[in-house]
Structure 1
Amino acid sequence: MRRRLALLVSAAMVLVLVAFLVPLALLLRAAAEDRAVGAAKTQAQALGVLVGTADPRSLRLSVEQANVDDAHPVTVFLPDGSAVGAAVAPTPAVRLAAQGGSFTVAHPGGREIVVAVQGLPGGTAVVRSFVPERDLRRGVSRSWLVLAVVGAGLLLLGLAVADRLAVAVVRPIRDLAAVSEGLSAGDLERRARPGDGPPEVRAVATALNRLAARIRDLLRQEREAAADLSHRMRTPMTALRLDAEGLADPADAARMLAHVAALDRALTAVIEDARRERDAPSCDAAAVVAERVAFWAVLAEDQARPVRAALDPGPLPVAASAPDLAAAVDALLGNVFAHTDEGVGLSVTLRAVPGGAELVVADEGPGIDPAASARGTSGGGSTGLGLDIARRTAESTGGRMSIAGARVTLELLTDR
């Protein structure tokens, strides 16, 4: 935008300078021509006075002196047909002037000035002077050069002023872009400075600040709603714990109570995660994945599912919180248990890659339709949120999720 404003101002200034300097240059050339022609006319008229008053010898000396001192050759054609001064044959202009009249004739090489001297005893004498082209253009080139320098200086000055004005317009817009980038990165406390820039830019800055405040309020309400919803689940969970304690088989009761305790920890994590302001989350992917694989391995053993885990040793830092990554792993492993038959094996692979880590969950089932990764879409009667949770976790780190048959890959980056 800064360059475009500079180009716009340059084009406008060039038009203005051309409209001003070109007529001025033509005026200077015309003034130089008028000055040279006027000087030649004055000289011819002065000699015309001598033709009628001086004797032939004095006239000859005056004409020769004029031709020595001036660059304009002067010739006096007397009524008797003789000529004094520069040797020039009578031209059509001289013959016409001999009939009575003074005028100027333009030639390719200059201007011819003829002055008729009437009232002489023998007839009409004619004083002829010729101004060459170089005299008509004397000083014009230098004047044009001065005009060109002045025009270039004005153009450079205009460009400098236009650049300063463009900076004054562009800087607030860049600040708005930086604030927008900060808001998109999750920094909801970023605000623009409405006092900078033109009125339109200030209006946009004010609107952006209001939008940021509104987004912050909506997110806070959403967190509180999620926390309230999770808290409401405590009542049915308490009833489930009481039912588990009332089981006759101590082993079954212990297993059910362990599951209820895990659910209670998950709800507590959801409430805490919903209420805290997220700021540059990070966790050790190796520790989180190992803990969740160990949790699901117990259920896999009950269902006679072979579990193969190949996890690189940590730490493997990724730009996701531990609860979010744990929820993503639970979603992927939960899909295996929910949508494959008992006894179907699964594998979990976590390896370090440049810039982060790669998590692969695969099973020996029929595979996943990639269309099922859309939020709310499911082919197995579930809510369809599992794969979307995993996808959003990967994308929150700057990575992505890919599905190939029964193989789901999460690319988790260290820096978003």
Structure 2
Amino acid sequence: MRRRVLLLVAATTTLVLVAFLVPLALLVKNVAADRAVQRATVEAQAMTSFVATTDRQALAASVREVDSSSAYDVSVFVDGEVLGAPASRSPLVTLAESGVSQSGAVAGGREIVFAVDRSDGPTAVIRTFVSDTELAAGVPRAWLLLGALGVALLLVSLLVADRLARTFVRSTVDLAAVSHRLGRGELAARADTSAPGELGVVATALNGLAGRIDGLLREERETIADLSHRVRTPLTSLKMEADALGDPEAAERIGARVDAVNRVVTDVIHQARRRGDPPAVADAAEVVTDRVAFWAVLAEDTERDLTVDVAAGPLPVALPRTDLEACVDALLGNVFAHTPHGTAFRVALAARPAGAVLTVEDAGPGLPGGDALLRGVSGSGSSGLGLDIVRRAAERTGGTVRFDRAGTGGLRVVVELLGPR
């Protein structure tokens, strides 16, 4: 935008300067020529009195003196001779001998002739020649000054336009930056409403939109918190009734299901609360190393071979540490939940220019039927929220989750986690 404004101002200013300076330059040239012709005419007219009355010998001496002191070539045609500066008999001179005084353009300049009636003989002709150089005396310097003035005016206009363009561009860039911050979840970001013109209106509208979104999220969190209290009350009653059952096995099974629902409700509340929080950053290398070390004890107890390949950190990703830990725990927990004892698995974390890629693969039976990312869909009676947690964690960073068949025949889960922007 700034470049376009400068180009527009440069083009407009150039057109205005051309329309103003070109006629002015031509006027300067004409004025200089008229001034030179006028001065030559005055000099020629000043000679008419003594040319008309002076005798031939004195006239020759006077004409030589005038020619030597004048800036122009001065000649007098009398009795077929040329006194003063050498000159040929031009048509204007011939015409002047008949009594007609005038001036006209000739090769190399301009000729001015005056007819003078002498008292002792035929008509004499005073000729003054103004060369092209004398006609244009001072014109190049004047044109140079006009050109310098034009360049100076153009530079001043570009400087003023650049200052104005910077103001508009800065306001536009600030608006874009605020929009990106809002897109990353920084709902406290606000645009400067003092921006000029329509940009200030856009900034005000953007701030209103951000405030509305923030208010809606706050209402959503309050609604979910209220819903959680309403749900937990009957769940607590159900847990107490389960504990009162005479069958300990059934009581334990129902209690486990109630605890699972409680965990789901808690997870939903936490997700809703984090939705309005500013984005956090976690070191993926550190978190994956810690969680793998935690699960390695269970892997050893269940006789599972564990292969770990974690790239050197830090590997920052745009996710809170608790969410990243929950993501890793969900992936590793699924390995233990859906594969037989003794099944080997591998955990790898690779660095990428935009973040990191976490890969968990096992040698088990593979992905069960259905979409494991959907709530409530699982082949082992779980809530199915494990891989849904993984998906939400990846999407929160702007990444993706991909399911493949591992080389060992089991499931490979590849989680792309993008870094902070």
Task: Give the TM-score, by structure 2 length.
Answer: 0.79
Q: What residue number does 2:130 align with? A: 131
Any idea what the Cα deviations from partners look like across 1:282-339, whole Å, max 9, x if unmatched? 5663388559969999xxx8xxxx966545689987542356446645776798899x
Asked if structure 2 preserves the Cα contact closer than 8 Å seen for 1:288 and 1:325, the reply is no
Asked if structure 1 preserves the Cα contact closer than 8 Å seen for 2:291 and 2:329, the reply is no
- How many Å separate the matches in 1 of 2:288 and 2:378? 31
Asked if structure 1 preserves the Cα contact closer than 8 Å seen for 2:76 and 2:84, the reply is yes
Aligned-pair CA distance for 1:216: 0.4
Structure 1 residue 96 and structure 2 residue 98: aligned? no
Q: What residue number does 1:225 align with? A: 223
Aligned-pair CA distance for 1:208: 0.9
- How many Å separate the matches in 2 of 1:206 and 1:26? 54
Aligned-pair CA distance for 1:388: 6.2
Q: What residue number does 2:199 align with? A: 201
- How many Å separate the matches in 2 of 1:90 and 1:390? 108
Any idea what the Cα deviations from partners look like across 1:188-230, whole Å, max 9, x if unmatched? 11112212x3221111111111011011011112223333444
Asked if structure 1 preserves the Cα contact closer than 8 Å seen for 2:391 and 2:401, the reply is yes
Structure 2 gaps of 5+ residues are 406-410
* Overall identity of the aligned pairs, in %: 47
Change (3 A) 1:410 1:188: same
Structure 1 residue 271 and structure 2 residue 269: aligned? yes
- How many Å separate the matches in 2 of 1:393 and 1:403? 15
Asked if structure 1 preserves the Cα contact closer than 8 Å seen for 2:92 and 2:113, the reply is yes
Asked if structure 2 preserves the Cα contact closer than 8 Å seen for 1:244 and 1:257, the reply is yes
Q: What residue number does 1:212 align with? A: 210
Aligned-pair CA distance for 1:157: 2.0
Give the letter aligned to residue 71 of structure 2: A
Q: What residue number does 1:149 align with? A: 148
Asked if structure 2 preserves the Cα contact closer than 8 Å seen for 1:332 and 1:386, the reply is yes
Change (3 A) 1:244 1:310: farther
Asked if structure 1 preserves the Cα contact closer than 8 Å seen for 2:53 and 2:119, the reply is no
* Greater shift in the superposed pair: 155-164 or 18-27: 155-164
Asked if structure 2 preserves the Cα contact closer than 8 Å seen for 1:230 and 1:271, the reply is yes
Asked if structure 2 preserves the Cα contact closer than 8 Å seen for 1:104 and 1:113, the reply is yes
Give the letter aligned to residue 211 of structure 1: L
Q: What residue number does 1:403 align with? A: 403
- How many Å separate the matches in 1 of 2:30 and 2:315? 85
- How many Å separate the matches in 2 of 1:354 and 1:394? 15
CA RMSD of aligned residues (A): 4.2
Change (3 A) 1:346 1:220: farther
- How many Å separate the matches in 2 of 1:172 and 1:385? 44
SS at match of 1:233: helix
- How many Å separate the matches in 2 of 1:332 and 1:249? 34
Asked if structure 2 preserves the Cα contact closer than 8 Å seen for 1:292 and 1:329, the reply is no
Asked if structure 2 preserves the Cα contact closer than 8 Å seen for 1:292 and 1:326, the reply is no
Give the letter aligned to residue 14 of structure 2: V
Aligned-pair CA distance for 1:396: 2.2
Superposed, which structure 2 residues align to 1:241-252 within 5 Å? Answer: 241-242=239-240, 244-245=242-243, 250-251=248-249
- How many Å separate the matches in 1 of 2:13 and 2:212? 45
Aligned-pair CA distance for 1:262: 4.6
SS at match of 1:198: coil
Structure 1 gaps of 5+ residues are none
- How many Å separate the matches in 2 of 1:5 and 1:348? 58
- How many Å separate the matches in 2 of 1:379 and 1:107? 108
Asked if structure 2 preserves the Cα contact closer than 8 Å seen for 1:286 and 1:315, the reply is no
Task: Give the TM-score, by structure 1 length.
Answer: 0.79
Q: What residue number does 1:286 align with? A: 288
Aligned-pair CA distance for 1:46: 2.1
Asked if structure 2 preserves the Cα contact closer than 8 Å seen for 1:398 and 1:415, the reply is no
Asked if structure 2 preserves the Cα contact closer than 8 Å seen for 1:285 and 1:318, the reply is no
Q: What residue number does 1:11 align with? A: 11
- How many Å separate the matches in 2 of 1:242 and 1:251? 15
Any idea what the Cα deviations from partners look like across 1:66-108, whole Å, max 9, x if unmatched? 1110132222122x32332222221122112222322222134
Give the letter aligned to residue 394 of structure 2: A
Q: What residue number does 2:60 align with? A: 60
Asked if structure 2 preserves the Cα contact closer than 8 Å seen for 1:320 and 1:396, the reply is yes
Change (3 A) 1:104 1:389: farther
Structure 1 residue 321 and structure 2 residue 320: aligned? yes
SS at match of 2:123: strand
Q: What residue number does 1:110 align with? A: 109
* Greater shift in the superposed pair: 198-207 or 1-10: 1-10
